[in-house]
Amino acid sequence: MPILLILLTATVVELAVLIAVGHAIGILATIGLLILSSLIGAILLRREGSRTLAAFMAAVRTRRPPHSELLDGILIAAAGVLIVLPGFVSDGLGLLLLLPPIRALVRRRMLRSASRHAPSQFAPGAVVEGEVVDDPPHHPSRGELR
C-alpha cells in the first residue's frame, strides 16, 4: 500500500508541475524542455555508465571487492529510469543521481541504512561457533552390507 501511495503522489506532483510549467512558458516550450532534459540525461547516463563500468573492471582486475561500483551502477540505472519517465521532477532527480558527488552521498546513506538493518550475525568480525571433527571415513569390511 505505501508504494502505491508513493506512486500516486509522484504522478500527481509530476502532472501539477507539467501543468504549471505549461501555463508559464507554453506547451511547445514545455515539450522542448522535456526533450532537452531527456537528451542531456542520455548523454550523462552514457558517460557515467562507461566510467562506472571501467571502475568496476579495474576493481575486478585488482581483485578488490567492487561494492561502491555496483551501488553506483544501481543508482545510475535508477537515474536512467527516472530520466525516461516524462516529467520535470523525475528528470531532475535522475539528473541529480548522475552527478558523482550526489551519488556518493546517496551511496553512503544506503550503506549506513543497510548496516543498521543488517542482522548482528552478519556484522563484521562475527564469530560462528562450531567444531571441526576429523573422523576418518568408514570403509566397510568384506562381510558388511553396503
Cell of 117: 538493518
pLDDT digits (tens, 9 = 90+) for 63-75: 998 888 999 999 9
| Residues 6 or more apart in contact with residue 120 via CB below 8 angstroms | 126
**Is pTM beyond 0.85 here?**
no
105 vs 124, more confident? 105
Q: Does the structure show a pLDDT above 80 at 143?
A: no
Model confidence band, residue 4 (pLDDT cutoffs 50, 70, 90): very high
Quick one: pLDDT at residue 116?
A: 82
Cell of 27: 506547451
Amino acid identity for residue 143 in this structure: G
pLDDT digits (tens, 9 = 90+) for 116-142: 877 665 556 656 677 777 776 666 666
Quick one: pLDDT at residue 94?
A: 93
Torsion of CA 53, 56, 57, 59, to 10 degrees: 160
Containing 118, the helix (H) or strand (E) segment is: none
DSSP 122: G
Residue of 95, 91, 55 whose CA lies nearest to 73:
55
Q: Does the structure show a pLDDT above 60 at 39?
A: yes
Quick one: pLDDT at residue 145?
A: 57
| Residues 6 or more apart in contact with residue 75 via CB below 8 angstroms | 97, 103, 106, 107
Quick one: pLDDT at residue 125?
A: 60
Amino acid identity for residue 71 in this structure: L
| Residues 6 or more apart in contact with residue 90 via CB below 8 angstroms | 10, 14, 82, 83
